[in-house]
């Protein structure tokens, strides 16, 4: 129960703070000596983070839904409704490559990880490299994107597509889905806060799809699971996820990603050090 609670907290915090949830969820249990969570349990904790997203952005999601409903029912569309529908179109476009490439490559990469990461020593290095590379981009993010002023509705479909392609590589442990989307969002001209919000909006259908896929897998494979343990993980990831979203949105209004870059580089260097001393 304690392990499920802690993993839920780790997942909830690191899913949205751009320091890589997959790296932390994979490595911290090894470092602290408790059981490595199953993939199905990790997907279950994603339900908590999905609920955190929906509740945090409930007002915006409601306005998007009402604008879409007006269009479907052929009611009078206002300028704000057109903006909302445009944002939904951008989210849809960004989701396509994330789902298609993510799920296609996920099978190959997960099999590769299962084979390569049997060696705990190699696993340290495999996670350390992307932690360092993305961390270096974070260090120079402010100077690279200092003129960015666009909000979500200002970007074009091609920009959304690019963000979707970039997010599809987030299955590589150590990259961070929120981190790579923050960078690619700014690359296409968005300001930091808009890039973060777009990252979170695109996460909703992606996380939902991964949960649905996991449920189908559990049912078809007739897998056993402990509902009580899963509920602990879901609840703790929900609370931690909500706190993480609120923190990051407020943080990015005034500060850059540099502090996360420093954290990632320190963490990557520690992993490399552990690789050589083991």
Q: pLDDT per residue over 206-244, tens digit each? A: 888 888 887 887 778 777 777 889 999 999 999 999 999
Rounded Cα–Cα distance for residues 70 and 51 (Å): 25
What is the model's pLDDT at position 204? 93
**pLDDT > 70? residue 105:** no
- 17 close to 246: Cβ distance less than 8 angstroms: no
Q: What residues does each domain of the chain span?
A: 2-277
Would you say residue 108 has pLDDT above 70? no
Q: How many CA atoms lie within 13 A of 274 on its CB side?
A: 18
Q: What pLDDT is recorded for position 115?
A: 58
CB atoms within 10 A of CB 81: 19
In order of 27, 38, 150, 229, the CA distances from 225 in angstroms are 22, 10, 45, 8
- 153 forms bridges with which residues in the sheet? none
- CA distance linking residue 265 with residue 108, whole number of Å: 27
Cβ contact 154:176 at 8 Å: no
Give the closest residue to 89 by CA, choosing from 6, 158, 12, 151.
Answer: 158
Percent of the chain with pLDDT over 90: 51
Question: Taking the model in full, what pTM does it have?
Answer: 0.89
Range of 33-47, 56-70, 97-111 with top mean pLDDT: 56-70
Q: Give the residue among 116, 119, 96, 118 at the shortest CA–CA distance from 108.
A: 116
Residue-level pLDDT at 55: 97
Question: What is the pLDDT, as a whole number, of residue 40?
Answer: 78
The per-residue pLDDT for range 143-190, each reduced to its tens digit, is: 888 878 899 989 999 999 999 988 888 877 888 989 999 999 999 999
The per-residue pLDDT for range 11-50, each reduced to its tens digit, is 999 999 999 887 888 777 777 777 777 777 888 899 999 9
Torsion of CA 6, 12, 16, 18, to 10 degrees: 10
Give pLDDT, residue 120: 63
Residue linked to tokens 């690019």: 162
Structure tokens at 214: 């996991």
- 190 pairs with which residues across the strands? 150
């Amino acid at each position: 129960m304690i392990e499920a609670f802690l993993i839920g907290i780790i997942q909830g915090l690191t899913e949205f703070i751009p320091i890589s949830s997959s790296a932390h969820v994979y490595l911290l249990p090894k470092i602290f000596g408790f059981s490595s969570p199953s993939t199905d349990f990790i997907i279950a904790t994603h339900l908590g983070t999905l609920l955190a997203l929906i509740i945090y952005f409930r007002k915006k999601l409601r306005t998007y839904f009402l604008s879409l409903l007006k269009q479907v029912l052929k009611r009078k569309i206002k300028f704000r409704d057109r903006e909302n529908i445009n944002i939904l179109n951008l989210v849809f476009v960004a989701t396509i490559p994330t789902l298609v490439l993510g799920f296609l490559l996920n099978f190959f990469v997960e099999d590769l990880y299962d084979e390569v990461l049997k060696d705990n020593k190699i696993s340290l290095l495999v996670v350390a490299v992307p932690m360092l590379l993305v961390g270096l981009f974070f260090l120079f993010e402010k100077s690279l994107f200092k003129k960015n002023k666009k909000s979500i509705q200002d970007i074009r479909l091609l920009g959304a597509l690019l963000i979707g392609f970039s997010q599809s590589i987030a299955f590589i442990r150590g990259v961070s889905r929120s981190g790579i989307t923050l960078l690619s969002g700014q690359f296409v001209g968005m300001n930091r806060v808009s890039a973060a919000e777009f990252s979170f909006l695109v996460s909703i259908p992606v996380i939902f799809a991964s949960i649905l896929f996991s449920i189908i897998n559990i049912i078809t494979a007739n897998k056993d699971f402990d509902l009580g343990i899963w509920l602990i993980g879901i609840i703790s990831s929900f609370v931690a996820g909500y706190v993480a979203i609120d923190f990051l949105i407020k943080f990015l209004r005034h500060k850059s990603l540099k502090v996360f870059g420093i954290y990632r580089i320190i963490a990557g260097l520690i992993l490399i050090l552990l690789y050589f001393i083991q």
